[in-house]
Structure 1
Amino acid sequence: MEKLQFETEEIKGNLEAGFGSVYKPFSKYQKDNHELWQRGIKIAENRELMNNIIFCNDTLEIPPVKVFISLPENQDLLEELDAYDKKFLGTFFGYIFKHIFEYQSQKQRRINSKIVRSATYYYDNKYSIEVV
């Protein structure tokens, strides 16, 4: 399998340039520099964490949103999330995996969480992804 490498700045730049046009209903999170947008960008800028999220997705079939809600630094935010915020998280990671990393398929999984009942993991990618 061919390896594709992405720099964190490339991921961040792609998110900032394209997310709002692909997911128009959620563009307000970016325009308003919403706390969820900021935390998502912070993750996208973290090489080690992004590689862990990719590993969890690819090897363990753990959805990226589940990893996000499991991070200790996000625990303070979780009780405040409404249904629209949760959908935003799904679109944020969906954009990364489908539009940047080029995964072709996705599958919904039930996850054991009080915050989010189900989330998506991504598969059918012709590349091995690494964030450098």
Structure 2
Amino acid sequence: MHVTIPYVVGAALFGLGVYGVVRRRNAILVLMAVELMLNAVNLILVTADVSLRSALRGVPGEAWATPNAQPGSGGVFALFVIVLAAAEVGVGLAIVLQYYRMRKAVAIDEVRLDADAERVDG
């Protein structure tokens, strides 16, 4: 398999995620678009790790500035991104649900950010 295919797929996924963040009005769909962008980054991290390791095979460690690099470091970074995505979903969904309980809507363009917005107690 050519190494450019995962890079192109990752770039396409990231582009779709950016389009979803820019164009969507529903907060839950925006969170899904952010997840799509994070998964594109995971794909690119793992692909870069595999492709760079195969390209640098046989090169002495001193020649590329990380002589003690562990194999699979792209996967480790991808794992950190997955943990970050899980935390983002938890916090983001809690904020969206609380806003829905207060305002009965999740449209982003209707969110008031000023301090004197009317408060609905229920």
Query: Which structure has the bigger radius of gyration?
Result: 2
Normalised-by-shorter TM-score class: under 0.3
Q: Structure 1-normalised TM-score?
A: 0.26
Structure ranking higher on relative contact order (CA contacts 8 Å, 6+ apart): 1
Q: Structure 2-normalised TM-score?
A: 0.27
The structure in which a higher percent of residues are strand is 1
